[in-house]
Structure 1
Amino acid sequence: MKTRRILVVVDSSPAAQARVESALNLAGAVAAEVTAILAIHIEVPPVAASVMHGGWYMGDEILSQSREVALRSADLIRETCESVAERLRGELGWLQKEGDAVQVISEEARYHDLLLLGRPGTDDAAAGDFRGNIHSILLEAGVPCLVMPEDRPGMSRSPGRILLAWNGGRECYQAMRGAMPFLRRADEVTVLTLVEHPDEEAMARHRNGRAIDYLRTHEVNAGSLVTSREGLFTGQSLVAKTLELAPDLVVMGAYGHSRFRETILGGATRQILTHAELPVLFAH
């Protein structure tokens, strides 16, 4: 449960610099190495695409020009990220790969202990940005994923106050294990369970107690909080609690229900991804 390799996803957005800064500062706290990865998407204009499929000889030339533009953009992104590392006096590895963003990022993430990426925005999918596919990455990567909001500065240190959203499920356990290096360094850890009915509170306290006992064996002192959802869906109630408690980091399982069910009913994962205004470490 040590974090030795962190992979941070970068792109052309200004928020990528904050992600690199966060990754380097977290790496400094846990003695990890950081690599930035850029998934290169070759944009081919619709007219050019029809020309290529029609077999015209200009297709290869247009594709080559599009690739050249993408590689020039990649060089600028790399320079920007390396300037952040230089300012922080940190070491930053670099990977850039052409292809489908979900496949490129997910495959490389499996050789790292933590994946750091940005929260999806409203126009990311239309722009071909990886953040439009973040739900697929959470499911495919196979490692804990730290999702950063786009409008916050980079994390300056390991989080001091951590909220662990708990229901005793497998995904929660994986998230807790993935966050252990940061839980050990936190000043305050709260294990939170949300209940729908008062008669669920005793079992919730029991589950929280078991999680706290486990954390104690890993030198983490944690407190318990069992509270009502107050008629809200779990995701809505969890968003409200993050606003009330204002932790530096939320740790939670991702897609405890099937992704289809969460898409149709609006599960906790989607609610947090859409509305949380602070870093969230997910594990599936």
Structure 2
Amino acid sequence: MVYKTLLVILKGEADTPRVLDFALPFAARHNSHVIGLHAEALPIAMATPMGGSMADFTVEMEAEAAQRHAALRAIFEERTQAEGVAAEWRGYESVSGDSAVSGIESARTADLVIVQQNDPDADSRMTADVEALIFESGRPVLLVPYTFKGRSVPFKEVVVAWNGSKEAARAAFDALPLMKEAGKVEVLTVDARDTLQQDAGLAGAAIAASLARHDLDVTTRAEHSAGLSHGDVIANRLAETDADLLVMGAFGRSRLSEFVFGGVTRTMLQSMTAPVLMAR
């Protein structure tokens, strides 16, 4: 598998330079075609308390949206041309104006999606429903931390969070081109259990062997949570190894249970310190 088509989600002018600093060198390394995508909210006619249409206000909103579209497209085209990357632009208007949601259909025909993690301090108009993109697109999503600085370079060490699930399996094999780029991979298990098929002490051994057959330097690591959340255990391991990419399956529950019980997926979406590839 190779990443020949990249979909790059651009939420606004604040995140665009950072995302392109990551995505374009990445595309150059993988000889990828890059699709830049941004969405704006459809202008909706509003009414005054007296019943009259606020046409002037709607026209002003439409003009501002068109200006943002034009500005982002200009940045995208200038950057891709300067770096010699094959590219195309897709601009949308939708009811929500959410670039991630508007990008779901395009994502389904891409090898990989790149999007920035939401910045909790950003204007709400500059955030996106990244979870919908992960859970509904059917494609691997590579998340760039909102703290990312500089230009992306080849990954050096990858941690694969492994629990034997179909989501983890999909993420591991979707990330093979990145693992080959790095060469060094650690398969991490947390609180593995004995099953009829496998002793807990051997959890991760089978996937490690499969990955090693791709000429990768693969090791396994078993951790116990000891009262910490699994998300915290994974984050701590990333810090200990200085790994520069996490690969994991994306798991979802109802929003209420996520709020009450937390969740590894949500933890990593909120507090990632390195790029994270998620697949569902």
TM-score, with structure 1 as normaliser: 0.87
Aligned residue type for 1:111: T
Determine helix, strand or coil for the equivalent of 1:122.
coil
Q: Is the 1:116–1:145 contact (alpha carbons within 8 Å) kept by the matching residues of 2? A: yes
Q: Measure how far apart 1:185 and its partner are.
A: 1.9
Distance 2:19 2:263 in 1: 26
Matches of 1:171 and 1:82 in 2, distance apart? 35
Deviation at 1:212, TM superposition (A): 1.1
User: How far did residue 57 of structure 1 move?
Assistant: 4.4
Instruction: Decide which moves more: 170-179 or 102-111.
Output: 102-111
Give the match for residue 184 of structure 2. 188
Q: Which amino acid aligns with 2:111?
A: D
Going from structure 1 to structure 2, the CA distance change for 1:18 and 1:134 (only over 3 Å counts) comes to same
The answer (yes or no) to whether the contact 1:114–1:145 under 8 Å persists in 2 is yes
- Distance of aligned partners of 1:90 and 1:20 in 2 relative to their CA distance in 1, 3 Å threshold: same
What is the DSSP-based 3-state SS (H/G/I as helix, E as strand, rest coil) of the residue aligned with 1:185? helix
Other structure's SS at 2:125 match: coil
Q: How far did residue 97 of structure 1 move?
A: 0.6
CA distance in 2, matches of 1:32, 1:90: 7
Correspondent of 1:203 among 183, 199, 204: 199
Shift in alpha-carbon separation, 1:176–1:74, aligned structure 2, 3 A: same
Aligned to 1:140: 136
Change (3 A) 1:222 1:155: farther
How many equivalent pairs are there? Answer: 275
5+ residue gaps, structure 2: none
Contact preservation (8 Å) 1:230, 1:237? no
Structure 1 pair 163–85 and aligned structure 2 pair: CA distance change class (3 A) = same
Secondary structure at the aligned position of 1:128 is classed as helix
Following superposition, the deviation at residue 28 of structure 1 comes to 2.1
Q: Deviations over 1:97-135 (max 9, x none)?
A: 1113243111111111111111112245x623343x222
Given the alignment of the two structures, is residue 84 of structure 1 paired with residue 79 of structure 2, yes or no? Answer: yes
Deviations 1:242-280 (A, max 9, x none): 222221110001116555533431100111111111110
Taking only the aligned residue pairs, the percentage that are identical comes to: 25
- Taking the TM superposition and a 5 Å limit, the aligned residue runs for 1:254-265 are 254-255=250-251, 260-265=256-261
Give distance in 2, aligned partners of 1:13 and 1:40.
13
Q: RMSD across aligned C-alpha pairs, in angstroms?
A: 2.5
Alignment partner, residue 253 of structure 1: 249
- TM score, norm. by length of structure 2: 0.88
Tell me the distance in 1 between the aligned counterparts of 2:214 and 2:258: 33
1:14 aligns with 2:11: no
- Runs of 4+ that moved beyond 4 A: 256-260
Aligned 8 A contact 2:47 2:54 in 1 = no
The one-letter amino acid paired with 1:228 is H
CA distance in 2, matches of 1:204, 1:33: 42
How far apart are residue 141 of structure 1 and its match? 1.7
2:39 is aligned with what amino acid? A
Deviation track 1:51-107 (CA, whole Å, cap 9, x = no partner) reads: 3x9763443x43233111111111111222233324433233211111132431111
1:41 alignment partner in structure 2:
41
Residue 94 of structure 1: aligned partner: 89
Structure number with the higher helix fraction is 1
Q: Match for residue 71 of structure 1?
A: 66
**Contact 2:186/2:220 (8 A) holds in 1:** yes
- Gapped runs of 5+ residues in structure 1? none
Q: 1:272 to 1:193 in 2, by over 3 A?
A: same
